[in-house]
Every structure is written in structure tokens, then in C-alpha cells.
């Protein structure tokens, strides 16, 4: 894929990067080169390679799913400026 000056100008505007007119042509060449490398990666056959979640083959650490905290509503609401039952009471901000 080839990138021209207008494309570089548009990319720079979208990225909100100021690029001077004399820098457009070199950047177009660099971006075209980068896109060429990406196209080459697309040609590599990876169908026999399983997806990776890590560079090392390891098992995720798991912990038991148990409730270890809770049933302390009064402690939590002790510092609330206002409450209604077991809930924080806050002023209405949307009418």
C-alpha cells in the first residue's frame, strides 16, 4: 500500500499532530514502508500455530470464589453524611 502526501496530511490532522509541508513526503515514504512490512506479515501461514496468551506456557493462578468480606453494612455506612435504610443518600443532581 502506498501512502501519499494527502493521506499523511489527513492522518496528521486526525491525530492532531502538526506536520510541516516539507515533512509530508518523507513521512509518506516511512508510512508506506511500515505498511509494506505489515502486508508481509499477513502472508505468513500461522494456521498451525495456536493462539498465545503469554510468551510462557503457564496456567492461570486461580483462587476459590468465596465470600471473604461482607455483612458489615453498619461499618460502611457509619461515616455516611446521610442514609436511607441500608443505602447512601445523595442529593439529586439531574432533574
- The pLDDT, as a whole number, for residue 55 is 81
* Domain assignment of residue 20, yes or no: yes
* Domain assignment of residue 90, yes or no: no
pLDDT at 37 over 90: yes
Task: Provide the residue range defining the domain that includes 24.
Answer: 5-42
* Domain assignment of residue 19, yes or no: yes
The secondary structure of the chain as a DSSP string is ----HHHHHHHHHHTT----HHHHHHHHHHHHHHHHHHHHHHTS--TTS---SSSS--PPP-------S---HHHHHTT-SSEETTEE-------
* Domain assignment of residue 81, yes or no: no
pTM for the full model?
Answer: 0.50
Q: How many domains does the chain have?
A: 1
Rounded mean pLDDT, 42-60: 84
* Domain assignment of residue 16, yes or no: yes
Amino acid at each position: 500500500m502506498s501512502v501519499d502526501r494527502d493521506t499523511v496530511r489527513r492522518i496528521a490532522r486526525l491525530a492532531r499532530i502538526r506536520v510541516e509541508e516539507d515533512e509530508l513526503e518523507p513521512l509518506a515514504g516511512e508510512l508506506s514502508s511500515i505498511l509494506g512490512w505489515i502486508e508481509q506479515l499477513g502472508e505468513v501461514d500461522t494456521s498451525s500455530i495456536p493462539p498465545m496468551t503469554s510468551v510462557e506456557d503457564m496456567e492461570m493462578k486461580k483462587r476459590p470464589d468465596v465470600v471473604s468480606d461482607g455483612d458489615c453494612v453498619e461499618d460502611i455506612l457509619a461515616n455516611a453524611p446521610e442514609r436511607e435504610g441500608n443505602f447512601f443518600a445523595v442529593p439529586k443532581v439531574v432533574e
